[in-house]
Amino acid sequence: MSTKLNQLIALEKGAKAQANADLAAAYQRVAKTELQTGIARTYRPHDDMGEELPPESKRVQVRTREVISEVTATLARLLDVTATKDTANCAARADVVVDGVTLARDLPVTYLLFLEKQLLELKQFVAKLPTLDPAESWSFDEVSDCYATEPSQTVRTKKVPRNHVLAEATDKHPAQVQVYHEDIVVGRWTTTKFSGALPAKEVGDVKQRLGALLDAVRTAREAANSAVVSDVKPGNAILGYLFG
């Protein structure tokens, strides 16, 4: 039965959990020295008139060689599965294709995982890109190297006091005058707005391309992970050397 790389990753997780549990249990067993000791003794009186005593015995409950054998078996499986996975990772490759265009060829699955993570982080950056105020009309200005609006003019006014005669002066009464202020144009502002932001469509296109690129990388990763792997089994040789 053939195994795919993505299945092997799940197998490695289970093998690692089992090996850790078995190794912890084995450590507990060999740490209890009393379980590895046994005794058998019989009693014989000095003469026929002496007291008879029953034999005593204690069986060995833990044999170190057996524990090593069990640990070797579970660790060998973990070493084999991991070696098979890592070897397959070196061979599992796929192309990144967007809209029929191949952007990159034969990328290893480990790089595709890294690339997907980096693109997800880049997605947060792209989401924060500022866009130009849609209420204004913008064009790119080569001199300032950013976007600019057409110059617009506004007036500057100044309040000038004026007199309004309510009643003319007579020989008996002074003139009645009311003071008021009139806004007089004294100048004009010419304003050009500048912005380092980007057009909304340009940012939208970047977001769309990023989404397509992420989909392509995920497709490539799944394709690479679906590669059929060949078993690699160094576990017994390594542990056989260790434990003789």
Does position 1 have pLDDT exceeding 60, yes or no?
no
Contact 192, 138 (CB under 8 A): no
SS3 string of the chain? CCEEHHHHHHHHHHHHHHHHHHHHHHHHHHHCHHHHCCEEECCCCCCCCCCCCCCEEECCCCCHHHHHHHHHHHHHHHHHHHHHHHHHHHHCEEEEEECCEEEEEEEEHHHHHHHHHHHHHHHHHHHCCCECCCCCCEEEECCCCEEEECCEEEEEEEEEEEEEEEECCCCCCCCEEEEEEEEEEEEEEEECCEECCECHHHHHHHHHHHHHHHHHHHHHHHHHHCCEECCCCCHHHHHHHHHC
The mean pLDDT value for 214-232 works out to 91
Q: What is the pLDDT of residue 2?
A: 64
Q: For 195-211, what is each residue's pLDDT tens digit?
A: 999 999 999 999 999 99
**Paired tokens of 113:** 């995982």
Mean local confidence (pLDDT), 130-152: 95
pLDDT in tens, 53-109: 899 999 988 888 999 999 999 999 999 999 988 888 888 899 999 999 999 999 999
Question: What band does 171 get if pLDDT is binned at 50, 70 and 90?
Answer: confident
The residue-averaged pLDDT of 212-240 equals 92
Nearest CA to 92 out of 120, 112, 78, 77 is that of 112
Residue 9 confidence (pLDDT) above 60: yes
| pLDDT averaged over every residue in the chain | 90
- Can you give the residue ranges of every domain in the chain? 3-132+198-243, 151-191
**pTM over cut 0.85:** no
How far CA 153 is from CA of 47, 136, 187, 188, in Å, comes to 133, 15, 10, 6
